[in-house]
Amino acid sequence: MLTRAVEALPVEFREALDDLAIVVEGWPPDDLLDELGVPPDGTIYGFYQGVPLPERSVSDPYRLPDVISVYQGPLEEDFPEPGELQRQIRITLLHEIGHYFGLDEDALERLGYA
């Protein structure tokens, strides 16, 4: 489903993601949830790790690609119906790509990706 969501992105966006790895993981790590202040009964569906494009400089040293992690466990648990799961995977992907492009939570919420 994640592959379908990536393939459904406009070509211009997919081409801009060449320095970005998109991976599926089972569950978000507990230390990440703690760091983000997620309550014990809460979770996240995805996480962007890296330096957003607007904050980069040509003088920056070489670094590994940024990573978007999409967490399969919480997504499948919270969205058991396949159509709703596919919709939420798309929203999660777009939310994390938004961070890659430098959008903050308020901007993503206004766009409907929160």
Residue 12, pLDDT score? 84
Amino acid (one-letter) located at 104: D
Token code pair at residue 16: 């801009």
Q: Is residue 94 part of a domain?
A: yes
Q: Is residue 68 part of a domain?
A: yes
Instruction: Supply the pTM of this predicted model.
Output: 0.87
Q: Is residue 59 part of a domain?
A: no
Residue 78, pLDDT score? 97
Mean pLDDT calculated for residue range 65-83 = 96
Domain residue limits at 95: 2-54+64-110
Q: Is residue 76 part of a domain?
A: yes
**Residue entry with tokens 């058991």:** 80
Q: Is residue 69 part of a domain?
A: yes
**Could you tell me the CATH number of the domain that includes residue 36?**
3.30.2010.20
Q: Is residue 37 part of a domain?
A: yes
Give the pLDDT confidence of 26-68 residue by residue, as tens digits: 999 999 999 999 999 999 999 999 988 778 777 777 777 899 9
- What is the domain count for the chain? 1
Give the pLDDT confidence of 93-105 residue by residue, as tens digits: 999 999 998 888 8
Q: Is residue 98 part of a domain?
A: yes
Is residue 73 scored above 80 in pLDDT? yes
